[in-house]
Homo-oligomer: A and B are copies of this chain.
């Protein structure tokens, strides 16, 4: 985790305090379930909840762990200090550390997913607003970085909306992938604990019981989770690259927002760098890099080995924190992106109408001109535009051979931008369904 690329709510999920709080809830709910089953005395289960409103002393737990070399035991010792060692003596009975650790990790991932889902909704709202705002702001569509046909800025925002809406869906599915818990013992047989405990604890924590676990919750779930995040990150890169292109000096169809007071921006107004979207490009790489180790983590030996653990200590917090930050940053960038419609028109007209040459070519052939002749007619006028700086429509209107096939009105019509935007509403209706 890099502090400058993190936000407090997501960071809090990964704090020791949060972790111990979840550990406590698992243990306390498990005691309740065991009391329900008659396995432990009700009063002991009840006593554990004394710690409900007590801040756990992280330093004290660390101190104990330094001696016991075991994190869960250290926590339980500290818990016993709070609720009384006699009252606490049934806590964790029949359970394995992994029952607590794995279930906790999934609770954290679920909470992280909840934040990411909210982030995504915020981004979608921004994209939708900008899409509607610029539904009819015409700009040139580009393939291969080369001018192709007109489109609108609204369509650009709308396609990012559609992509991020798919990503919202992927995040929801990813959340479901890891919303399970397991309290099933050393090799998953429930030898020392009743499955009812797992069911109760999971229900209380908003999880499904893992249908079959070993010592651990199977890691294909986590692989699916982190790959989903990798896809989301790739889409962030996709939007970021578009904005970086738009802000290029030669293009200048948009700029990341600059506050009025931001130094340097007015003495060198040509030097506003798209540093936020460049940063997002890098952050996307960071989120994506968790995908391979998350997949490598799936093949654990037999009922578990612990190779996945160090990986997850890293990618659990780092990936969710980075993606949260990236989604928030992108939302802000989209929300405040300064759009330059005039520059969009100027860019489109950079080659004075040439962008319409394909329509003219088609019109000529539809008017009965042979393909070869049509090509020749377009070419000779196009070359005057390309090499001599003439205007394409003017040249066509002055070319007798062209006029023999197409009336001036027909030629004019080929330069009508409405031809290209006539289905924008249809597309918007598809994308923004509600």
Contact = CB atoms under 8 A, between A and B. Distances in A.
26 contacts: A142-B302, A142-B303, A143-B187, A144-B274, A144-B301, A144-B304, A146-B248, A146-B273, A147-B270, A149-B191, A151-B188, A159-B188, A159-B212, A162-B211, A163-B218, A189-B421, A190-B423, A195-B426, A211-B431, A231-B298, A248-B248, A248-B250, A270-B351, A278-B305, A291-B291, A314-B318
A134 interface: no
How many of these chains are in the complex? 4
Given A283-B310, A293-B286, A350-B250, A303 B227 contact: no
Contacts of A382: 266-269
A70 B273 CA distance: 14
A351 to B, nearest CB: 5
B307 A430 contact: no
A361 to B, nearest CB: 6
Given A191-B419, A282-B297, 15 more contacts: A142-B249, A142-B301, A143-B186, A143-B187, A147-B270, A155-B188, A159-B213, A166-B221, A173-B173, A190-B422, A212-B431, A224-B231, A233-B295, A235-B298, A269-B383
Contact of A420 (B148, B189, B247, B278): B189
Contacts of A144: 244, 273-275, 278, 301, 304-306
A151 B189 contact: yes
B361 A267 contact: yes
Contact of A286 (B4, B245, B310): B310
A279 B313 CA distance: 11
A58 interface: no
A358 interface: yes
Contact of A297 (B141, B249, B285, B290): B285
Contacts of A423: 189-191, 195
Contacts of A290: 289
Interface centre among A149, A213, A379 (most CB of B within 10 A): A149
A276 B4 CA distance: 32
Contact of A141 (B4, B188, B190, B270): B188
B238 A220 contact: yes
Contacts of A181: none
Contact of A2 (B166, B313, B350, B431): B313
Nearest to A374: B267
